Amino acid sequence: MDWLGGLSSIKGQLTNITKDLLAEGTREINADPESELSIARTRICELESVVETQKTEINSLRCRNEELVVQLESLQLRLDHTKELFIQQLREKDILISKLQAEVSNERGEPEGQPEASLGTTSCLIDNSVTKSGLTQYPDLASEDHQVPSTVSHPDGTVTWEELKNEVVQLRAELTKWKKVAKKQLKQQVSDLQETHRNEIAAVQESHSDHLSNLVEQLKETETEVIKLQKQVDEFQDRSSCVVNLNQTDLGNITFKSTFKTDKSVCTDVSDLTMFVESQENSKKSRPSKKKKKKPTTRWDATDIAKSSKSVSCEMSSQVDQVYFHSALVLNLLFSLCLLILHILFALCP
């Protein structure tokens, strides 16, 4: 084998190298022995490394050889198995062929030695019978220009190759014709379906357009009604604001008049008090000076002034309270009016 030859060649190389080394050692013994020893050692190390590499290669080649042997055995087994299968199939086919030949010979009434000569004629007859049976099962595919000959001109009942070719050509022409007819019918059906779909879509679009127009009209009417109601609400608000302004002006006039009256009354009271005080002082000056106890006139005058001012302030506060009460009533009226307006709007809006 190859790997054994490689081993023998490696052994020869090693022997040659050792011989060369021994010869060089014998020749140069007189030289430096230490250098020779170092050279020999290095050479030995190199050779050992070479031997190791060669051993690893040998091991790898052995493994590869074993794998290839296993693959070869498996392939051989597969080939044997397939060969057996093919042999069995060939035997079965031979048996079937022999049976068919025997049946054909029995049907034709021929002797057993001449079954092979009539195989071609029987195949032609089988094809003709198949075509006839197909046309009898599907009579719609047959036309006037295609007629299968019921009787054969040959005395032995066989059909020639040219007749079969003509028959095939006629059948193909008939098939193309019917394909064209079917395509035309399909196109017509598709066009009819498209027209019906278009008509349905147009009707649906018209109905939707009418419905949309009605909705638009209803929206316009509702918008006009809303605008009218808004105008009425604005007018009502304007009227209510005018009424409120008039009420406020009347309240202002009343308060102004009341404050003016109170101011006048306060001024008159103050002037009366001052006149009274001056008259008292003048009477004291006109009398003769007598040592008498002083009377608390000033205190009495101050208390009178305080009482009068308190009465005036009470009157003014009562008038102011009346004004605030009237303004609160007006605000309550305005709030009730706003609520009524909102109720009216919600009732009018759908």
Could you tell me if 200 and 228 lie in one domain?
no
Count of Cβ atoms closer than 10 Å to residue 128 Cβ: 19
> Is residue 314 pLDDT above 60, yes or no?
no
Asked whether residue 108 is assigned to any structural domain, the reply reads: no
Residue 143 vs residue 241, higher pLDDT: 241
Predicted local distance difference test score (pLDDT) of residue 207 = 86
Q: pLDDT tens-digit profile of 318-344? A: 544 554 555 566 666 667 667 767 666
> Is residue 350 pLDDT above 60, yes or no?
no
Domain boundary among 185, 208, 231: 208
Asked whether residue 103 is assigned to any structural domain, the reply reads: no
Residue 347 vs residue 188, higher pLDDT: 188
> Is residue 206 pLDDT above 80, yes or no?
yes
Could you tell me if 204 and 151 lie in one domain?
yes
Residue 350 vs residue 76, higher pLDDT: 76
Residues 6+ apart with CB under 8 A from 330: 244, 247, 248, 251
Could you tell me if 253 and 341 lie in one domain?
yes
Predicted local distance difference test score (pLDDT) of residue 271 = 57
Domain range spanning residue 67?
2-95
For the chain, the average pLDDT equals: 69
Q: pLDDT tens-digit profile of 57-74? A: 999 999 999 999 998 998
Q: Are 326 and 251 in contact (CB under 8 A)?
A: yes
How is residue 265 written in tokens? Answer: 């009354």
Among the ranges given (88-92, 167-171, 300-304), the one the predictor scored with the smallest mean pLDDT: 300-304
Among the ranges given (2-6, 127-131, 224-228, 278-282), the one the predictor scored with the smallest mean pLDDT: 127-131
Predicted local distance difference test score (pLDDT) of residue 63 = 92
Could you tell me if 329 and 276 lie in one domain?
yes
Could you tell me if 229 and 334 lie in one domain?
yes
How is residue 263 written in tokens? Answer: 């101011």
Could you tell me if 37 and 155 lie in one domain?
no
Q: pLDDT tens-digit profile of 142-154? A: 444 444 444 344 4
Asked whether residue 71 is assigned to any structural domain, the reply reads: yes
Asked whether residue 49 is assigned to any structural domain, the reply reads: yes
Q: Are 126 and 164 in contact (CB under 8 A)?
A: no
What is the percentage of the chain residues whose pLDDT exceeds 90? 4
Could you tell me if 70 and 128 lie in one domain?
no
DSSP conformation letters of 268-291: HHHHHHHHHHHHHHHHHHHS----
Counting every residue written for the chain, the total comes to: 350
Could you tell me if 130 and 235 lie in one domain?
no
Q: pLDDT tens-digit profile of 26-47? A: 655 555 778 888 888 888 898 8
In total, how many domains does the chain have? 3
Could you tell me if 251 and 330 lie in one domain?
yes
Predicted local distance difference test score (pLDDT) of residue 117 = 44
- The mean pLDDT of 304-314, rounded to a whole number, is 48
Could you tell me if 229 and 201 lie in one domain?
no
Q: Are 247 and 330 in contact (CB under 8 A)?
A: yes
Among the ranges given (81-95, 167-181, 216-230, 288-302), the one the predictor scored with the smallest mean pLDDT: 288-302
Residues 6+ apart with CB under 8 A from 112: 102, 105
Could you tell me if 203 and 309 lie in one domain?
no
Query: How would you class 99 by CB atoms within 10 Å of its CB: exposed for 0-12, middle for 13-18, buried for 19 or more?
Result: exposed
